[in-house]
Copies of this chain bind each other. A is one copy, B any other.
Amino acid sequence: MRELNYTPSILAQGMRKQRTKTFGVLIPDFKNLFYAEFLEHVESAARKHGYVGIVCSTDIDSERERDYINQLLRRQIDGLIMCWYKGVGENRAFLVQLAKRLPVVIMDQPSCGLPISAVYTDAFGGIKNLTEYFLGLGHRRIALIRALDSYPVGRKRFEGYAAALREYGIEVDESFVEQSEWTSFAASDATNRLLKRFRPTAIVAVTDLMAIGVLSCLHDKGYEVPGDISVGGFDNIAIASQTSPPLTTVAQPIDQMAFEATQQLIRRIENRRIKNRDVVLPNKLIIRESSGPPPMGEILSPSTSTITEEA
């Protein structure tokens, strides 16, 4: 009778079965290529299971976030993936409440014992490695362009940086560090501010996007990268290999993160008795041309035999 393309209405199905084969994805910003790649992979994982994700960008605005969560709940989503700038630890009550209604997967931070799943990589260790790599090259004046203090991801990455320096007996100086919003523009401004009071031989940015801002500022000011100043980022978004020069960075396995998050969510949607899990994935230092030894006269490392000018 209806061999000719009949597809049941998901609305009607949803009313009856309380399942819509639809989940929500909360991200801060479409323009951050990390999330763009993340979404790409979430989408293809979801598609395999016949799910559709509704993506909402919060612009790091609490009101907008609340609105969207309501909109999503009204649409009876089956689950929610949150790329969150807020700390899980500081929002326990809210998350407990939310997790009562649907499965929740949180990105970039541990679940802190809450009834949610989490997918993240070792931000602390990643930046620590990167910073140690710079230290090993002989850099000592290593600056950090970090995120605002209120963002947990940014905080962890800051701590990795500080730990590496401390290992080399360098106490982290406030003047080494500049805060910035997540965009390349803000990071470019931050670099500007930084350079007015401090002349580093290397700059670490807590995301690739911000590192692009750093490169842009350095290019403006006429510094050579890595001749004068080395630059490192975090994420390994696709264009990190296409900047001029290509960016040294800490690669997160974005595809796996997306895959695990989606997998975890859908499994819990389809069987509530599956328990929540924290999935921790490895990240990895990728060395490209934006980094090299510090300029002559700045080499202070024991690992090189060059005599410094100050000798």
Contacts and interface: CB of A to CB of B under 8 A. Distances in A.
Interface string A198-236: 000000000000001101100100000000000000000
Contacts of A7: 70, 73-74
Interface residues of A, number: 52
Interface string A1-17: 00000011111101100
A149 interface: no
Top 5 closest A-B pairs, CB basis?
A219-B244, A216-B242, A30-B36, A244-B244, A31-B36
A33 B215 CA distance: 19
A262 to B, nearest CB: 15
Contacts of A31: 33, 36-37, 40, 238
A184 B15 CA distance: 44
B8 A11 contact: no
Interface of A: 7-12, 14-15, 20, 22, 29-31, 33, 36-37, 39-40, 43, 47, 52, 54-57, 64, 67-68, 70-76, 183-185, 188, 212-213, 215-216, 219, 238-239, 241-246
A280 B157 CA distance: 46
A93 to B, nearest CB: 15
A70 B246 CA distance: 41
Nearest to A16: B11
Given A10-B76, A54-B54, 11 more contacts: A7-B70, A9-B15, A10-B75, A11-B14, A22-B75, A29-B40, A30-B39, A33-B33, A33-B36, A43-B57, A183-B238
Contacts of A246: 216
Contacts of A54: 52, 54-55
Given A30-B40, A31-B40, A71 B52 contact: yes
Contact of A243 (B10, B216, B238): B216
Contact of A76 (B11, B64, B241): B11
A73 B219 CA distance: 49
Contacts of A219: 244-245
Nearest to A238: B31
A71 B75 CA distance: 15
Contacts of A36: 30-31, 33, 36
